[in-house]
Amino acid sequence: MSLSTHVLDTATGLPAAGVAVTLERRTDQGTWQQVGGGETGEDGRIADLLGAAPTASGHHRLTFDTGTYLGDDAFYHEVTVTFVVADPAQHHHVPLLLSPYGYTTYRGS
């Protein structure tokens, strides 16, 4: 599985640089284990969230540290997106469109 993300600040119309992102996978015991992550670059992207981690199907979640990026006045200080990987051979892209008072996400390509 390959996994990427792209964070765009819809309030400014610019990429959101410096957003820390954590990737976790749910274990068979139902707990969450960190398997990857990174920080968005100047273009708002992280091209490879997994690094050398093994690929696996199942439930995954991305947690975006939006509070550090948006500041104390932001309504959402953390955004967590939980998704299911059915086919680990496919590439998965999870964009986040972000503003101080809202966000949206979708499965990208």
CATH number for 73 = 2.60.40.180
pLDDT at 56: 87
pLDDT at 52: 73
pLDDT at 108: 95
> Total structural domains in the chain?
1
One digit per residue, pLDDT tens: the chain, 109 residues? 789 999 999 999 999 999 999 999 999 999 999 999 999 999 999 999 988 777 789 999 999 999 999 999 899 999 999 999 999 999 999 999 999 999 999 999 8
Element (H, E) at 69: helix 66-70
Give CA 81 to chain center in angstroms: 7
Domain housing 97: 2-105
pTM attached to this predicted model: 0.94
